[in-house]
Structure 1
Protein backbone atom coordinates (compact mmCIF):
# COMPACT_ATOMS: atom_id res chain seq x y z
CA UNK A 1 0.00 0.00 0.00
CA UNK A 2 1.40 3.33 -1.10
CA UNK A 3 0.43 6.68 0.40
CA UNK A 4 -0.29 8.70 -2.71
CA UNK A 5 -0.94 12.01 -0.94
CA UNK A 6 -1.51 13.68 2.43
CA UNK A 7 -3.71 16.76 2.06
CA UNK A 8 -4.83 19.36 4.59
CA UNK A 9 -8.50 18.78 5.39
CA UNK A 10 -8.86 21.60 7.92
CA UNK A 11 -6.58 23.39 10.41
CA UNK A 12 -6.15 20.28 12.58
CA UNK A 13 -6.57 17.28 10.27
CA UNK A 14 -5.23 15.79 7.06
CA UNK A 15 -6.87 13.46 4.54
CA UNK A 16 -4.64 10.50 3.75
CA UNK A 17 -4.92 8.84 0.34
CA UNK A 18 -3.68 5.28 -0.15
CA UNK A 19 -3.29 3.86 -3.67
CA UNK A 20 -5.17 6.88 -5.01
CA UNK A 21 -8.23 6.43 -2.74
CA UNK A 22 -9.37 8.25 0.39
CA UNK A 23 -8.21 6.13 3.33
CA UNK A 24 -8.78 8.12 6.53
CA UNK A 25 -8.59 11.44 8.32
CA UNK A 26 -5.89 11.92 10.96
CA UNK A 27 -4.84 14.80 13.16
CA UNK A 28 -1.60 16.45 12.09
CA UNK A 29 0.11 15.26 15.27
CA UNK A 30 -0.81 11.69 14.34
CA UNK A 31 0.56 12.16 10.84
CA UNK A 32 3.88 13.12 12.43
CA UNK A 33 3.69 10.32 15.00
CA UNK A 34 3.29 7.62 12.35
CA UNK A 35 5.65 9.44 9.95
CA UNK A 36 3.18 9.37 7.09
CA UNK A 37 4.08 11.15 3.89
CA UNK A 38 3.27 10.99 0.21
CA UNK A 39 5.17 8.35 -1.76
CA UNK A 40 5.96 6.08 1.19
CA UNK A 41 4.78 2.52 1.60
CA UNK A 42 2.62 1.89 4.64
CA UNK A 43 2.94 -1.61 6.08
CA UNK A 44 -0.08 -3.65 7.15
CA UNK A 45 0.76 -3.47 10.86
CA UNK A 46 0.90 0.34 10.89
CA UNK A 47 -2.29 0.52 8.83
CA UNK A 48 -4.12 -1.84 11.21
CA UNK A 49 -2.92 0.08 14.29
CA UNK A 50 -4.20 3.36 12.82
CA UNK A 51 -7.56 1.90 11.78
CA UNK A 52 -8.22 -0.40 14.75
CA UNK A 53 -6.55 1.39 17.64
CA UNK A 54 -7.02 5.01 16.66
CA UNK A 55 -9.93 5.46 14.27
CA UNK A 56 -12.26 2.69 15.44
CA UNK A 57 -12.03 3.89 19.05
CA UNK A 58 -12.61 7.44 17.85
CA UNK A 59 -15.61 6.37 15.74
CA UNK A 60 -17.16 4.60 18.75
CA UNK A 61 -16.73 7.72 20.91
CA UNK A 62 -18.18 9.87 18.13
CA UNK A 63 -21.19 7.57 17.80
CA UNK A 64 -21.74 7.64 21.57
CA UNK A 65 -21.53 11.44 21.67
CA UNK A 66 -24.01 11.79 18.81
CA UNK A 67 -26.48 9.40 20.45
CA UNK A 68 -26.25 11.29 23.75
CA UNK A 69 -27.63 14.37 22.01
CA UNK A 70 -30.44 12.70 20.04
CA UNK A 71 -31.69 9.38 18.71
CA UNK A 72 -30.53 8.16 15.29
CA UNK A 73 -31.46 5.35 12.95
CA UNK A 74 -28.64 3.02 11.94
CA UNK A 75 -28.71 4.47 8.42
CA UNK A 76 -28.48 8.10 9.60
CA UNK A 77 -25.75 7.38 12.16
CA UNK A 78 -23.73 5.53 9.51
CA UNK A 79 -24.09 8.56 7.23
CA UNK A 80 -22.93 10.87 10.02
CA UNK A 81 -19.83 8.78 10.72
CA UNK A 82 -19.10 8.51 7.01
CA UNK A 83 -19.22 12.30 6.78
CA UNK A 84 -16.60 12.33 9.55
CA UNK A 85 -14.13 10.58 7.26
CA UNK A 86 -13.90 7.28 9.16
CA UNK A 87 -13.00 4.15 7.16
CA UNK A 88 -15.81 1.65 6.61
CA UNK A 89 -14.38 -0.97 8.97
CA UNK A 90 -14.31 1.58 11.82
CA UNK A 91 -17.87 2.69 11.07
CA UNK A 92 -19.11 -0.91 11.00
CA UNK A 93 -17.47 -1.69 14.35
CA UNK A 94 -18.80 1.52 15.92
CA UNK A 95 -22.32 0.69 14.75
CA UNK A 96 -22.10 -2.86 16.11
CA UNK A 97 -20.78 -1.55 19.43
CA UNK A 98 -23.63 0.91 20.06
CA UNK A 99 -26.19 -1.66 18.84
CA UNK A 100 -24.83 -4.25 21.28
CA UNK A 101 -25.63 -1.90 24.18
CA UNK A 102 -29.03 -0.95 22.70
CA UNK A 103 -27.94 2.67 22.30
CA UNK A 104 -28.93 2.27 18.66
CA UNK A 105 -32.18 0.43 17.92
CA UNK A 106 -34.20 0.97 14.74
CA UNK A 107 -37.23 -0.84 16.17
CA UNK A 108 -37.34 1.43 19.23
CA UNK A 109 -36.74 4.50 17.08
CA UNK A 110 -39.59 3.61 14.72
CA UNK A 111 -42.00 2.78 17.57
CA UNK A 112 -41.26 6.08 19.33
CA UNK A 113 -41.62 7.97 16.06
CA UNK A 114 -44.99 6.42 15.24
CA UNK A 115 -46.36 7.03 18.75
CA UNK A 116 -45.18 10.64 18.70
CA UNK A 117 -46.65 11.53 15.28
CA UNK A 118 -49.70 9.27 14.96
CA UNK A 119 -51.96 12.02 16.35
CA UNK A 120 -50.73 14.66 13.89
CA UNK A 121 -49.59 12.89 10.70
CA UNK A 122 -51.11 10.33 8.35
CA UNK A 123 -49.94 6.73 8.48
CA UNK A 124 -48.61 7.05 4.94
CA UNK A 125 -46.62 10.19 5.80
CA UNK A 126 -45.11 8.50 8.87
CA UNK A 127 -44.16 5.49 6.75
CA UNK A 128 -42.47 7.73 4.16
CA UNK A 129 -40.61 9.63 6.88
CA UNK A 130 -39.24 6.44 8.39
CA UNK A 131 -38.18 5.05 5.01
CA UNK A 132 -36.23 8.26 4.36
CA UNK A 133 -34.47 7.67 7.66
CA UNK A 134 -33.39 4.25 6.41
CA UNK A 135 -35.77 2.05 8.40
CA UNK A 136 -36.59 -1.29 6.73
CA UNK A 137 -40.02 -1.28 5.05
CA UNK A 138 -41.09 -4.59 6.64
CA UNK A 139 -40.18 -3.29 10.09
CA UNK A 140 -42.15 -0.08 9.45
CA UNK A 141 -45.23 -2.04 8.39
CA UNK A 142 -44.96 -4.33 11.41
CA UNK A 143 -44.74 -1.39 13.84
CA UNK A 144 -47.52 0.56 12.12
CA UNK A 145 -49.78 -2.47 12.35
CA UNK A 146 -48.87 -2.91 16.01
CA UNK A 147 -49.32 0.76 17.01
CA UNK A 148 -52.53 1.27 15.00
CA UNK A 149 -54.11 -2.08 15.95
CA UNK A 150 -56.38 -0.54 18.59
CA UNK A 151 -56.94 2.71 16.70
CA UNK A 152 -59.09 1.60 13.74
CA UNK A 153 -58.38 4.81 11.80
CA UNK A 154 -59.69 7.03 14.57
CA UNK A 155 -56.58 9.19 14.86
CA UNK A 156 -56.41 9.83 11.12
CA UNK A 157 -60.13 10.53 10.99
CA UNK A 158 -59.76 13.22 13.66
CA UNK A 159 -56.82 14.74 11.77
CA UNK A 160 -58.84 14.90 8.53
CA UNK A 161 -61.83 16.46 10.26
CA UNK A 162 -59.56 19.04 11.89
CA UNK A 163 -58.08 19.92 8.48
CA UNK A 164 -61.55 20.10 6.93
CA UNK A 165 -62.56 22.60 9.62
CA UNK A 166 -59.44 24.65 8.96
CA UNK A 167 -60.37 24.72 5.28
CA UNK A 168 -63.94 25.78 6.22
CA UNK A 169 -65.33 22.74 4.46
CA UNK A 170 -69.10 22.51 4.08
CA UNK A 171 -71.56 20.50 2.01
CA UNK A 172 -72.56 23.71 0.21
CA UNK A 173 -69.16 24.10 -1.41
CA UNK A 174 -68.83 23.90 -5.17
CA UNK A 175 -67.60 20.59 -6.55
CA UNK A 176 -64.31 22.14 -7.73
CA UNK A 177 -63.55 23.45 -4.22
CA UNK A 178 -64.31 20.05 -2.73
CA UNK A 179 -61.95 18.45 -5.24
CA UNK A 180 -59.16 20.85 -4.21
CA UNK A 181 -59.61 19.96 -0.55
CA UNK A 182 -59.67 16.24 -1.33
CA UNK A 183 -56.45 16.58 -3.35
CA UNK A 184 -54.85 18.52 -0.48
CA UNK A 185 -55.75 15.76 2.00
CA UNK A 186 -54.61 13.02 -0.36
CA UNK A 187 -51.20 14.71 -0.71
CA UNK A 188 -51.00 14.67 3.09
CA UNK A 189 -51.10 10.87 2.86
CA UNK A 190 -54.70 10.12 3.84
CA UNK A 191 -56.62 7.41 1.98
CA UNK A 192 -59.58 8.40 -0.21
CA UNK A 193 -61.76 6.06 1.83
CA UNK A 194 -61.09 8.02 5.04
CA UNK A 195 -61.36 11.38 3.24
CA UNK A 196 -64.84 10.50 1.90
CA UNK A 197 -65.87 9.16 5.28
CA UNK A 198 -64.72 12.31 7.10
CA UNK A 199 -66.48 14.54 4.57
CA UNK A 200 -69.69 12.57 5.06
CA UNK A 201 -69.41 13.01 8.82
CA UNK A 202 -68.85 16.76 8.44
CA UNK A 203 -71.88 17.01 6.20
Structure 2
Protein backbone atom coordinates (compact mmCIF):
# COMPACT_ATOMS: atom_id res chain seq x y z
CA UNK A 1 0.00 0.00 0.00
CA UNK A 2 1.33 3.41 -1.00
CA UNK A 3 1.03 6.66 0.95
CA UNK A 4 -0.36 8.97 -1.72
CA UNK A 5 -1.05 12.01 0.45
CA UNK A 6 -0.23 13.65 3.78
CA UNK A 7 -2.38 16.69 4.53
CA UNK A 8 -2.53 19.04 7.50
CA UNK A 9 -5.57 18.38 9.71
CA UNK A 10 -4.67 20.73 12.57
CA UNK A 11 -1.51 21.94 14.31
CA UNK A 12 -0.65 18.54 15.71
CA UNK A 13 -2.31 16.05 13.33
CA UNK A 14 -2.29 15.09 9.67
CA UNK A 15 -4.57 13.15 7.34
CA UNK A 16 -3.00 10.11 5.77
CA UNK A 17 -4.15 9.04 2.32
CA UNK A 18 -3.31 5.56 1.11
CA UNK A 19 -3.77 4.47 -2.50
CA UNK A 20 -5.57 7.76 -3.25
CA UNK A 21 -8.18 7.14 -0.53
CA UNK A 22 -8.52 9.00 2.80
CA UNK A 23 -7.57 6.46 5.44
CA UNK A 24 -6.92 7.91 8.93
CA UNK A 25 -5.55 10.77 11.01
CA UNK A 26 -2.35 10.52 13.06
CA UNK A 27 -0.33 12.83 15.27
CA UNK A 28 2.77 14.16 13.58
CA UNK A 29 4.97 12.30 16.03
CA UNK A 30 3.27 9.04 15.06
CA UNK A 31 3.93 9.73 11.40
CA UNK A 32 7.65 9.79 12.23
CA UNK A 33 7.36 6.74 14.50
CA UNK A 34 5.84 4.63 11.74
CA UNK A 35 8.08 6.07 9.03
CA UNK A 36 5.18 7.34 6.97
CA UNK A 37 6.32 9.35 3.97
CA UNK A 38 4.47 10.51 0.90
CA UNK A 39 4.89 8.34 -2.20
CA UNK A 40 6.42 5.54 -0.16
CA UNK A 41 5.10 2.16 0.92
CA UNK A 42 3.45 1.68 4.32
CA UNK A 43 4.23 -1.78 5.66
CA UNK A 44 1.41 -4.20 6.42
CA UNK A 45 2.69 -4.52 9.99
CA UNK A 46 2.58 -0.76 10.64
CA UNK A 47 -0.83 -0.47 9.00
CA UNK A 48 -2.15 -3.26 11.24
CA UNK A 49 -0.73 -1.59 14.37
CA UNK A 50 -2.37 1.70 13.46
CA UNK A 51 -5.77 0.21 12.59
CA UNK A 52 -5.94 -2.45 15.29
CA UNK A 53 -4.10 -0.85 18.21
CA UNK A 54 -3.48 2.90 17.95
CA UNK A 55 -6.79 4.18 16.55
CA UNK A 56 -9.22 1.87 18.39
CA UNK A 57 -7.64 2.73 21.74
CA UNK A 58 -7.73 6.45 20.95
CA UNK A 59 -11.35 6.39 19.73
CA UNK A 60 -12.49 4.53 22.85
CA UNK A 61 -10.72 7.01 25.10
CA UNK A 62 -12.21 9.91 23.16
CA UNK A 63 -15.69 8.46 23.51
CA UNK A 64 -15.22 7.85 27.24
CA UNK A 65 -13.94 11.39 27.79
CA UNK A 66 -16.94 12.86 25.99
CA UNK A 67 -19.31 10.79 28.10
CA UNK A 68 -17.75 12.03 31.33
CA UNK A 69 -19.29 15.46 30.82
CA UNK A 70 -22.76 14.62 29.47
CA UNK A 71 -24.95 11.94 27.96
CA UNK A 72 -24.89 11.25 24.23
CA UNK A 73 -27.03 9.19 21.92
CA UNK A 74 -25.22 6.74 19.65
CA UNK A 75 -25.89 9.12 16.75
CA UNK A 76 -24.39 12.12 18.55
CA UNK A 77 -21.32 10.20 19.64
CA UNK A 78 -20.81 8.88 16.11
CA UNK A 79 -20.93 12.46 14.79
CA UNK A 80 -18.31 13.55 17.32
CA UNK A 81 -15.96 10.75 16.33
CA UNK A 82 -16.53 11.42 12.63
CA UNK A 83 -15.46 15.02 13.17
CA UNK A 84 -12.28 13.65 14.75
CA UNK A 85 -11.50 11.88 11.49
CA UNK A 86 -11.82 8.32 12.71
CA UNK A 87 -12.58 5.70 10.03
CA UNK A 88 -16.03 4.10 10.11
CA UNK A 89 -14.81 0.71 11.33
CA UNK A 90 -12.95 2.36 14.24
CA UNK A 91 -16.04 4.40 15.17
CA UNK A 92 -18.16 1.24 15.24
CA UNK A 93 -15.64 -0.48 17.50
CA UNK A 94 -15.62 2.48 19.91
CA UNK A 95 -19.44 2.67 19.96
CA UNK A 96 -19.74 -1.06 20.56
CA UNK A 97 -17.28 -0.69 23.43
CA UNK A 98 -19.10 2.10 25.31
CA UNK A 99 -22.52 0.62 24.52
CA UNK A 100 -21.40 -2.73 25.87
CA UNK A 101 -20.67 -1.08 29.22
CA UNK A 102 -24.03 0.71 29.20
CA UNK A 103 -22.48 4.16 28.83
CA UNK A 104 -24.58 4.82 25.71
CA UNK A 105 -28.23 3.85 25.87
CA UNK A 106 -30.71 5.55 23.54
CA UNK A 107 -33.74 4.31 25.49
CA UNK A 108 -32.39 5.75 28.74
CA UNK A 109 -31.47 9.02 27.00
CA UNK A 110 -35.00 9.36 25.59
CA UNK A 111 -36.56 8.56 28.96
CA UNK A 112 -34.42 11.13 30.79
CA UNK A 113 -35.17 13.79 28.15
CA UNK A 114 -38.93 13.18 28.20
CA UNK A 115 -39.07 13.11 31.99
CA UNK A 116 -37.19 16.40 32.26
CA UNK A 117 -39.09 18.29 29.53
CA UNK A 118 -42.61 16.83 29.58
CA UNK A 119 -44.04 19.54 31.82
CA UNK A 120 -43.17 22.46 29.52
CA UNK A 121 -42.48 21.08 26.03
CA UNK A 122 -45.14 19.69 23.75
CA UNK A 123 -45.01 16.09 22.60
CA UNK A 124 -44.26 17.23 19.06
CA UNK A 125 -41.38 19.46 20.19
CA UNK A 126 -39.86 16.70 22.33
CA UNK A 127 -40.26 14.27 19.43
CA UNK A 128 -38.46 16.61 17.01
CA UNK A 129 -35.70 17.29 19.56
CA UNK A 130 -35.06 13.59 20.04
CA UNK A 131 -35.22 12.75 16.32
CA UNK A 132 -32.48 15.34 15.73
CA UNK A 133 -30.41 13.56 18.36
CA UNK A 134 -30.76 10.26 16.53
CA UNK A 135 -33.53 8.67 18.62
CA UNK A 136 -35.75 6.48 16.46
CA UNK A 137 -39.50 6.99 16.22
CA UNK A 138 -40.03 3.53 17.72
CA UNK A 139 -37.93 4.32 20.80
CA UNK A 140 -39.68 7.68 21.25
CA UNK A 141 -43.20 6.23 20.96
CA UNK A 142 -42.47 3.40 23.39
CA UNK A 143 -40.71 5.64 25.92
CA UNK A 144 -43.36 8.36 25.73
CA UNK A 145 -46.09 5.82 26.39
CA UNK A 146 -44.19 4.40 29.37
CA UNK A 147 -43.66 7.81 30.96
CA UNK A 148 -46.67 9.91 29.96
CA UNK A 149 -49.23 7.24 29.16
CA UNK A 150 -52.10 7.66 26.74
CA UNK A 151 -53.63 10.84 28.22
CA UNK A 152 -51.81 13.14 25.80
CA UNK A 153 -54.56 15.75 25.54
CA UNK A 154 -54.75 16.31 29.29
CA UNK A 155 -50.98 16.77 29.49
CA UNK A 156 -51.00 19.26 26.61
CA UNK A 157 -53.81 21.17 28.28
CA UNK A 158 -51.77 21.46 31.49
CA UNK A 159 -48.66 22.52 29.55
CA UNK A 160 -50.54 25.20 27.62
CA UNK A 161 -52.14 26.56 30.78
CA UNK A 162 -48.70 26.73 32.36
CA UNK A 163 -47.38 28.74 29.40
CA UNK A 164 -50.38 31.05 29.46
CA UNK A 165 -49.80 31.77 33.13
CA UNK A 166 -46.11 32.42 32.52
CA UNK A 167 -47.13 34.93 29.85
CA UNK A 168 -49.80 36.44 32.16
CA UNK A 169 -52.37 35.70 29.48
CA UNK A 170 -56.03 35.62 30.53
CA UNK A 171 -58.20 33.94 27.90
CA UNK A 172 -61.43 35.36 29.35
CA UNK A 173 -60.34 38.99 28.92
CA UNK A 174 -58.05 38.75 25.86
CA UNK A 175 -59.22 40.26 22.60
CA UNK A 176 -59.00 38.52 19.22
CA UNK A 177 -55.55 39.91 18.37
CA UNK A 178 -54.10 38.87 21.73
CA UNK A 179 -55.54 35.37 21.30
CA UNK A 180 -54.04 35.15 17.81
CA UNK A 181 -50.64 36.14 19.19
CA UNK A 182 -50.83 33.57 21.98
CA UNK A 183 -52.05 30.89 19.56
CA UNK A 184 -49.07 31.55 17.27
CA UNK A 185 -46.69 31.34 20.24
CA UNK A 186 -48.16 28.01 21.36
CA UNK A 187 -48.10 26.65 17.82
CA UNK A 188 -44.38 27.44 17.57
CA UNK A 189 -43.93 25.49 20.79
CA UNK A 190 -45.29 22.46 18.96
CA UNK A 191 -48.76 22.19 20.46
CA UNK A 192 -51.59 20.90 18.28
CA UNK A 193 -54.17 23.31 16.89
CA UNK A 194 -57.09 21.59 18.62
CA UNK A 195 -55.37 21.74 22.02
CA UNK A 196 -54.59 25.45 21.52
CA UNK A 197 -58.15 26.26 20.46
CA UNK A 198 -59.59 24.45 23.46
CA UNK A 199 -57.19 26.12 25.89
CA UNK A 200 -57.91 29.61 24.59
CA UNK A 201 -61.58 29.12 25.39
CA UNK A 202 -60.88 28.24 29.04
CA UNK A 203 -61.64 30.56 31.92
CA UNK A 204 -58.16 30.45 33.48
CA UNK A 205 -57.25 32.40 36.56
CA UNK A 206 -53.82 34.02 36.31
CA UNK A 207 -51.76 33.72 39.47
Partner of 1:184: 185
| Structure 2: segments with no counterpart, 5+ residues | none
Equivalent position of 1:80 in the other structure: 80
Residue 5 (1) aligns with residue 42 (2): no
Q: How many angstroms apart in 1 are the aligned matches of 2:11 and 2:195?
A: 57
TM-score, normalised to structure 1's length?
0.92
TM-score of the superposed pair, with normalisation by structure 2: 0.90
Check the 8 A contact 1:167/1:181 in 2, yes or no: no
RMSD in angstroms over aligned alpha carbons?
A: 1.8
TM superposition shift of 1:35 = 0.5
**Structure 1 unmatched ranges of 5 or more:** none
Work out the CA distance in 2 between the residues paired with 1:138 and 1:45.
Answer: 44
**SS of match in other structure, 1:140:** helix
Asked whether the 8 Å contact 2:171–2:202 carries over to 1, the reply is no
Query: Residue 18 of structure 1 corresponds to which residue in structure 2?
Result: 18
Q: What secondary structure, in the 3-state scheme, does the structure 1 residue paired with 2:23 have?
A: strand
Q: State the partner residue of 1:115.
A: 115
Worse-superposed segment, 136-145 or 4-13 = 4-13
Report the CA distance between 1:201 and its aligned residue: 2.4
- In the comparison of the two structures, how many residue pairs are matched? 203
Tell me the CA shift for residue 172 of structure 1. 4.0
Secondary structure, aligned partner of 1:202: coil
C-alpha deviations, 1:39-83, integer Å up to 9, x for none?
112243322210110001110111011111110000000000111
Which residue pairs with 2:203 in the alignment?
202
Tell me the equivalent position of 2:128: 128
User: Aligned pair 1:32/2:32, yes or no?
Assistant: yes
Partner of 2:115, secondary structure, is: helix
